[in-house]
Structure 1
Amino acid sequence: MSKKKPLILVTNDDGITAPGIRTLIEVMNTIGDVVVVAPDAPQSAMGHAITINDTLYCNKVTVNEEEPQTEYSCSGTPVDCVKLAVNEILKRKPDLCVSGINHGSNSSINVIYSGTMSAAVEAGTIGIPSIGFSLLDYSLEADFEPAKKYVKLMVEQCLEQGLPKGVVLNVNIPKLPESNIKGIKVCRQADAHWEETFDKRKSPLGKDYYWLTGEFINKDKGEDTDEWALENGYVSVVPVQFDLTAHHAIKDINSWKL
């Protein structure tokens, strides 16, 4: 008796036609039965946003006639895509949700802004093992070929081993040829941040407008972080929890005169 293939939900934040998600779909088709529900346009840095004051559209599409999976293009955010997939499209809860492959890093503090990771986290909150994948290359011409080996390995291990309750994985892949990637490091999130500025300009009508810019500052010198791993040629894997309670602070706050 043949083993039943896992049902895999694929999504992203760069849009359903982005090269990263097409690569992810290709790899997932070698592992299980794939259903894609992804944004119809880029939704980068949307975090965990959901659509509540507008209509949502979700249309069945064919991006590549040679590929076997079922695909839906959604007008909403990455989190909307997961919610619609689970509640309206899929006939059963998927065995795995994978999000990405993002064009650009989602390491360190970037995880909280990431639409890619928020989609994975949303799936995790309803008990679906989930992984977000990112490649440290923002170019639309990025080479995702070296990522395939590590995506497949992480997914196969996740399906075989399972994930701890309340945890999803944040996987970042360095911009290197496959032969130069040294392996995988399970890491903590680096203590880093953005020092932001706003470039203030004037429109032709004389109105002020702004472009957000800034510099990424990593003062964390630890060799057990995602930033260290990526800088040193490793794929970083950070287990991410979505219980935001600062458990270590409860005792201190209870000492207040409340």
Structure 2
Amino acid sequence: MSKPLILVSNDDGITSKGIRVLIEAMCQIGEVIVVAPDSPQSGMGHAITIGNPLRLIETNIFEDLGVVAYKCSGTPADCVKLAKHFVIKDRKLDLVVSGVNHGSNLAISVLYSGTMSAAIEGAIEGFPSIGYSLADFSSKADFSHAIDQIIHIAKEVLEKGIAKNVALNVNIPPKQNERIKGIKICRQAKAHWEEEFDQRNDPYGRPYYWLAGNFVNHDKGEDTDVWAVDHNYVSVVPCQYDMTAYHSIAQINDDWDI
């Protein structure tokens, strides 16, 4: 039987440590093609490029792994779109994976995440898709303990499937002295960032602003992604792009004069 065809992308850029880790893991289970941004695209969400030309350039950056790779001038969502229409073309794509992100994508962060936007774009196109993140923001983060978990979840998706148009948001705890306890299928925690903007001045005295803030979790549930990662479990949250608040439809119809 032929190996599954796996598309790898990310938002930290094609030269990041995390994407090489993901490529090496996926090479153990399938044929890998890479289409990733040529520069960091963190926090881009599901942005797409509509006012500028997109560049797609083949690169030998992963030649040592025997992997065909392209760097793209656009966003993570652009990468998946171009991969489908030009790189993969008429071949059957079995899986889209994105990451491994340097830092967590828990709770509301999924809305801002370029990592998850590549996975969601894959789901929109009808491909089983996974976004992987390591809950460690250090540039020297150790990914070694995550590889078995990454491979296991990808194999489960390939062998047993997930619902159409669903992408999995996978967050892996940082490396600790104890082994990862297991995997938990979770809901997204009701947590958010309390934003602050640090106002500074450039050398010419002109003001500029630097986004800061703290992550606040008021959700005490033990079935959330935040709880799982905090307790050394890998969290898996099934995500969809349909953002309709179905529970509000009846209330609006009942209360509004329409």
TM-score, with normalisation over the residues of structure 2? Answer: 0.97
Residue 145 of structure 1 corresponds to 144
Distance 2:177 2:205 in 1: 50
Residue 119 of structure 1 corresponds to 118
Alpha-carbon contact 2:128-2:165 (below 8 Å) kept: no
Residue 213 of structure 1 corresponds to 212
Alpha-carbon contact 1:176-1:233 (below 8 Å) kept: no
Distance 1:178 1:27 in 2: 22
User: Over aligned residues, Cα RMSD in angstroms?
Assistant: 1.1
Measured after TM superposition, the shift of residue 202 of structure 1 is 1.4
Segment drifting more, 62-71 vs 78-87: 62-71
Alignment partner of 1:54 out of 52, 64, 85: 52
Alignment partner of 1:84 out of 61, 64, 82: 82
Unaligned runs of 5+ residues in structure 2 are none
Segment drifting more, 20-29 vs 198-207: 198-207
Distance 1:131 1:5 in 2: 18
Distance 2:114 2:177 in 1: 26
AA of the residue aligned to 1:241: Q
Structure 1 segment 1-258 matched on structure 2, within 5 A: 3-91=1-89, 92-177=91-176, 179-255=178-254, 256-258=256-258
Unaligned runs of 5+ residues in structure 1 are none
Large movers: runs of 4+ above 6 Å: none
Measured after TM superposition, the shift of residue 64 of structure 1 is 3.4
Distance 2:126 2:118 in 1: 13
Equivalent residue of 2:63, what SS?
coil
Alpha-carbon contact 2:221-2:227 (below 8 Å) kept: yes
Alpha-carbon contact 2:127-2:164 (below 8 Å) kept: no
Distance 2:175 2:138 in 1: 14
AA of the residue aligned to 2:218: K
Alpha-carbon contact 1:8-1:96 (below 8 Å) kept: yes
Cα deviation code 1:199-253 (max 9, x no counterpart): 0111222211100101110010000001000110100000111111111111111
Measured after TM superposition, the shift of residue 177 of structure 1 is 4.0
Measured after TM superposition, the shift of residue 166 of structure 1 is 2.6
Measured after TM superposition, the shift of residue 179 of structure 1 is 4.6
Alpha-carbon contact 1:223-1:229 (below 8 Å) kept: yes
Equivalent residue of 1:27, what SS?
helix
Give me the identity figure in percent: 58
Distance 1:222 1:23 in 2: 32
Distance 2:126 2:138 in 1: 33
AA of the residue aligned to 1:180: R
Distance 1:248 1:213 in 2: 33
AA of the residue aligned to 1:26: E
Distance 1:179 1:205 in 2: 51
Alpha-carbon contact 1:106-1:114 (below 8 Å) kept: yes
Alpha-carbon contact 1:147-1:178 (below 8 Å) kept: no
Distance 2:11 2:164 in 1: 25
